[in-house]
């Protein structure tokens, strides 16, 4: 069965978007606004499913920090990502949201959220605007390959083939497969001669060599609050930040861990493990901690002493007993040093499907500056399926949407519009 994209836009040109996440939707908006007839296909029953889930705790749209600092959050891919952000940075994205009737505010951490903290109203308004602009949506259309110039899909009603003057692939990475980002596109593009860097977890949790059953059963799911995490890899690159994270049954996860995850993951890949250092009392100096630990405790137990002098109890005290030997526990100088820099050895990432996002993807070497695939003229890529990564905090979403805009602009240039 073959269905042709029928031009309805004023230009007579057609475009096919495969993938209904923020990058694909933004590409669709650019094209439809320019008079291109756009059809958008997605394998899921509705678009923006990961976008909606990410907004359950409050949609972090972008970050308010200065553009120069914002751009550094993309690490080795700053040079590739910065041009996208020049066109759709934080200020422009807030203006875009306002154009949909969604006001935003800057939180205490500098993160930017919709005033109502919700993603659903923004997505509804966006989809309404896209439909008014003529974008046609086809759900439960799973891309399975190409047949000449035809793009082939499996649907509940059987195979469907679509053609268009240009195509934008915005198929996501490899995390949260149940929401559509399953990485099934990797072998399809590789078969077409497109180089793909293996997908890896990003913004992910890690496993330790092994918690004891006592620690795991009592403290899994409990947070470490007001701590600092430090890590220096074997190349000398360093990370240190204060925040929070959570103990899991097998290791650690949470915002502070995610912020360090790319450095830690790469070190594990290189050397088999990575040792981070946890400062349990970042607001106290090493000298103060040592003085309090060494203070005579009389008949009190060490646990009572640490609680009364330093406020260390619960999971913070428990991890000391979990990771330190008796000699260290009973030597004030060694215990004080551990409180300020407790070594935790991490041995593997949690599975890709559990990660907030993924690293790896379509290699930039295969792309033009406008995100067209060199091996497949007229085919563009956008979003998390490209080989870049970013920390949480609004960076990932902002850059994904900016890449969709970039790809859409690239299509217009390719079509001579």
Res 99 pLDDT > 60: yes
Query: Which residue range forms the structural domain that includes residue 67?
Result: 14-202+358-414
pLDDT in tens, 14-30: 999 999 999 999 999 99
pLDDT in tens, 121-133: 999 999 999 999 9
252 shares a domain with 161:
no
**Smallest Cα–Cα separation from 403: which of 22, 100, 74?**
22
DSSP 386: B
Strands 150-155 and 238-247: unpaired
Strands 379-381 and 206-208: unpaired
pLDDT value, residue 6: 52
pLDDT in tens, 331-381: 999 999 999 999 999 999 999 999 999 999 999 999 999 999 999 999 999
Whose tokens are 């009572």? That residue is: 304
Determine, yes or no, domain membership for 163. yes
Determine, yes or no, domain membership for 1. no
Instruction: For residues 46 and 141, give the distance between their C-alpha atoms in angstroms, rounded to a whole number.
Output: 11
Over residues 397-416, the mean pLDDT reads: 98
Range 52-61 burial, b when 16+ CB lie within 10 A, else e: bebbeeebbb
Contact partners, residue 80, CB within 8 Å, separation at least 6: 74, 364, 388
242 shares a domain with 325:
yes
**Helices vs strands, H then E, count in the chain:** 15, 19
How many independent structural domains does the chain possess? 2
Res 413 pLDDT > 90: yes
Cα-based distances in Å from 412 to 31, 83, 263, 269: 7, 17, 37, 40
Full DSSP string of 219-245: HTT-EEEEEEEEEE-TTS-EEEEEEEE
pLDDT in tens, 312-329: 999 999 999 999 999 999
How many CB atoms are located within 10 Å of the residue 300 CB?
13
Last residue of a domain, one of 305, 327, 349: 349
122 shares a domain with 43:
yes
Q: What value, to the nearest 5°, has the Cα angle with vertex 386 and ends 384 and 387?
A: 110
146 shares a domain with 75:
yes
Cα-based distances in Å from 309 to 178, 294, 317, 320, 332: 48, 10, 12, 16, 13
Contact indicator for 402, 84 with CB cutoff of 8 Å: yes
CATH number for the domain harbouring residue 142: 3.50.50.60
Res 1 pLDDT > 50: no
Average pLDDT, the chain: 94
212 shares a domain with 188:
no
Instruction: For residues 390 and 396, give the distance between their C-alpha atoms in angstroms, rounded to a whole number.
Output: 5
pLDDT value, residue 163: 96
pLDDT in tens, 222-233: 999 999 999 999
Res 112 pLDDT > 50: yes
pLDDT in tens, 162-206: 999 999 999 999 888 888 889 999 999 999 999 999 999 999 999
Over residues 74-89, the mean pLDDT reads: 96
Instruction: For residues 305 and 297, give the distance between their C-alpha atoms in angstroms, rounded to a whole number.
Output: 6
Last residue of a domain, one of 349, 368, 388: 349
Structure tokens at 7: 């031009």
242 shares a domain with 297:
yes
Could you tell me the sign of the dihedral formed by the alpha carbons of 350, 356, 362, 364, in that order?
A: negative
Burial label for 416, CB within 10 Å (0-12, 13-18, 19+), is: exposed
pLDDT in tens, 243-284: 999 999 999 999 999 999 999 999 999 999 999 999 999 999
Determine, yes or no, domain membership for 217. yes
> H/E element holding 103?
none
**Smallest Cα–Cα separation from 252: which of 278, 284, 285, 286?**
278
Contact indicator for 299, 322 with CB cutoff of 8 Å: no
Res 62 pLDDT > 80: yes
pLDDT value, residue 211: 95
210 shares a domain with 188:
no
297 shares a domain with 265:
yes
Strands 136-138 and 111-114: unpaired
Chain-centre distance for alpha carbon 346: 20
pLDDT value, residue 4: 47
Q: Longest C-alpha distance within the chain, in Å?
A: 87
Determine, yes or no, domain membership for 5. no
| Alpha helices (H) along 135-211 | 185-191
Whose tokens are 């690490």? That residue is: 75
Determine, yes or no, domain membership for 390. yes
Whole-prediction pTM value?
Answer: 0.91
pLDDT value, residue 22: 97
The total number of residues shown for the chain amounts to 417
3-state helix vs strand vs coil in the chain, percent to 5 = 40, 25, 35
Contact indicator for 403, 382 with CB cutoff of 8 Å: yes
Res 155 pLDDT > 90: yes
Contact partners, residue 247, CB within 8 Å, separation at least 6: 211, 215, 219, 220, 221, 222, 223, 224, 315, 319
Instruction: For residues 388 and 325, give the distance between their C-alpha atoms in angstroms, rounded to a whole number.
Output: 41
155 shares a domain with 33:
yes
Determine, yes or no, domain membership for 7. no
Last residue of a domain, one of 326, 349, 372: 349
DSSP 110: S
139 shares a domain with 218:
no
């Amino acid at each position: 069965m073959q269905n042709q994209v029928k031009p309805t836009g004023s230009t007579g040109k057609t475009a096919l978007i495969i993938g209904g996440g923020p990058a694909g939707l933004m590409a669709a908006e650019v094209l439809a606004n320019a008079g291109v007839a756009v059809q958008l296909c997605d394998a899921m029953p509705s678009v923006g499913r990961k976008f909606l889930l990410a907004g359950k705790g409050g949609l972090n749209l972008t970050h308010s920090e200065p553009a120069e600092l914002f751009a550094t959050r993309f690490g080795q891919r700053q040079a590739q990502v910065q041009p996208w952000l020049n066109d759709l940075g934080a200020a422009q994205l807030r203006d875009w949201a306002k154009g949909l009737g969604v006001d935003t505010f800057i939180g205490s951490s500098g993160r930017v959220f919709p005033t109502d903290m919700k993603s659903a109203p923004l997505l509804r308004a966006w989809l309404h605007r896209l439909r008014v602009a003529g974008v046609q949506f086809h759900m439960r259309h799973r891309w399975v390959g190409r047949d000449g110039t035809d793009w082939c899909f499996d649907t509940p009603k059987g195979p469907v083939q679509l053609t268009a003057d240009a195509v934008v692939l915005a198929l996501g990475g490899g995390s949260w497969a149940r929401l559509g980002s399953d990485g099934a596109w990797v072998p399809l593009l590789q078969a077409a001669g497109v180089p793909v860097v293996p997908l890896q977890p990003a913004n992910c949790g890690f496993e330790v060599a092994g918690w004891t059953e006592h620690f795991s059963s009592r403290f899994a799911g409990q947070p470490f609050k007001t701590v600092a995490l430090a890590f220096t890899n074997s190349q000398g690159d360093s990370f240190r930040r204060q925040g929070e994270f959570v103990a899991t049954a097998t290791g650690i996860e949470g915002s502070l861990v995610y912020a360090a995850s790319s450095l830690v993951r790469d070190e594990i890949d290189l050397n088999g493990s990575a040792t981070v250092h946890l400062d349990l009392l970042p607001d106290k100096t090493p000298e103060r901690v040592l003085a309090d630990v060494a203070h005579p405790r009389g008949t009190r137990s060490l646990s009572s002493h640490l609680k009364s002098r330093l406020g260390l109890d619960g999971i913070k005290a428990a991890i000391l007993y979990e990771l330190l030997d008796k000699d260290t526990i009973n030597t004030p100088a060694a215990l004080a040093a551990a409180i300020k820099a407790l070594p935790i050895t991490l041995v593997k990432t949690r599975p890709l499907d559990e990660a907030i996002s993924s690293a790896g993807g379509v290699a930039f070497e295969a792309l033009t500056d406008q995100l067209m695939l060199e091996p497949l003229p007229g085919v563009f890529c956008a979003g998390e399926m490209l080989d870049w990564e970013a920390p949480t905090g609004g960076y990932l979403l902002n850059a994904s949407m900016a890449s969709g805009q970039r790809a859409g602009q690239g299509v217009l240039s390719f079509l001579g519009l």
